[in-house]
Amino acid sequence: MGAVILGTGSCLPRRVLTNQDLEEIVDTNDEWILSRTGISTRRKSSKGEETYRLATVAAENAMQMAGVTADEIDLIIVATISSHMTMPSCACFVQKELGANKAFAYDVNAACSGFLFGMDNADKYLRCEKGAKILLIGAETLSGRTNWEDRNTCILFGDGAGAVVMEYEDGARGIIGSNLRSDGSLWNLLYMHSAPSSNPDIFQADNPGSHIMMEGREVFKYAVKAMEGAVQELLERENVSISSVGLMIPHQANIRILKKLVSRIGIEEEKVFINVQKYGNTSAASIPIALDEANRAGRLQPDDLLLVCSFGGGFTWGAALLRW
């Protein structure tokens, strides 16, 4: 019927950054961070834990579970906004590290929605190339894109990577459909500049450096409304009731956003997988890390309906339904 997930994997940097650690860096405290975001700890990369290296280990773990070797992979897609280079892509570095010699590779930039957008790309590719195998990865080291003097943002983000191996399968399993949206007119509520242009004629007077910049309250409002709309539209289009969803894996941005979303779409809290307390917001990596944890914890059984949804810079947002 569509693209199925053969295996999942993840990789988190070793170093744990606690709320107490952040108290040493900016004017904040554990109580504020916990009550406003639900986050207790996040991971921070050290030497040797660049985005492509986390991505490679996550991919190896997913391939091991899938029983697939690197030389069987036809396409590598990495969703990221924090590759260590702009060119080549992070996906090309992963391809090199794995020795996936027949694969072509590229990155997707859809911020926190990157994995979801990549999953839709992969599904549609596999419907045309039915024998292909795809490695889809979400990987970030946002610690390198964070302004460590800005308490509004530096408490939120974390590093990590998650991966899945996908192939096409006839039958009832696989991706049922997705509902993806963007609104570039709202770019300035959540953004990150590139390095300053070497062409002085190109306007860049306001380039503050490549740090995440965010209007938190505005993002919060749009995030809840947009994800709710995307989920409702998708359920309606696919004629699926929320009560038949077995597990929901939302982008792990903030516990308050998730709680609001959960109550608005009317899904039972026990059916929602949440790990934001451990890893913070890992952008494009958050859904595949959560998916791997949920899968390894036995939260997904054959035939379960999985609902994923996300919201991020762009704005970009959406939802997808998959039969496990």
Interface with ligand UT7 (CB under 6 A): 28, 32-33, 36-37, 112, 151-152, 155, 214, 216-217, 219-220, 223, 253-254, 257, 281, 311-312
For ligand UT7, the closer CB: 214 or 300: 214
Q: How far is the CB of 150 from ligand UT7 (least distance, A)?
A: 9
Q: How far is the CB of 157 from ligand UT7 (least distance, A)?
A: 8
Q: How far is the CB of 272 from ligand UT7 (least distance, A)?
A: 16
Residues contacting residue 45 through CB under 8 Å, at least 6 positions apart: 13, 15, 54, 141, 143, 144, 159
Three-state SS at 255: helix
- Name the helix (H) or strand (E) containing 2: strand 2-11
Is-contact 275 295, C-beta < 8 A? Answer: no
- Name the helix (H) or strand (E) containing 44: strand 41-44
Which residue of this chain has its Cβ atom nearest to ligand UT7 in the complex? 216
For ligand UT7, the closer CB: 72 or 109: 109
DSSP for 126-155, please give it. HHHSTT-EEEEEEEEEGGGG--TT-TTTTT
For ligand UT7, the closer CB: 156 or 163: 156
Distance CA 81, CA 169 (A): 31
In this structure, which amino acid lies at residue 153?
Answer: T
Cα–Cα distance list, 155 to 142, 152, 197, 253 (Å): 11, 7, 29, 12
Is-contact 226 315, C-beta < 8 A? Answer: yes
Q: How far is the CB of 46 from ligand UT7 (least distance, A)?
A: 23
Please report the sign of the dihedral spanned by the C-alpha atoms of residue 265, residue 271, residue 276, residue 277: positive
Q: How far is the CB of 89 from ligand UT7 (least distance, A)?
A: 22
For ligand UT7, the closer CB: 115 or 311: 311
For ligand UT7, the closer CB: 5 or 276: 276
Which positions are annotated as active-site residues? 112, 251, 281
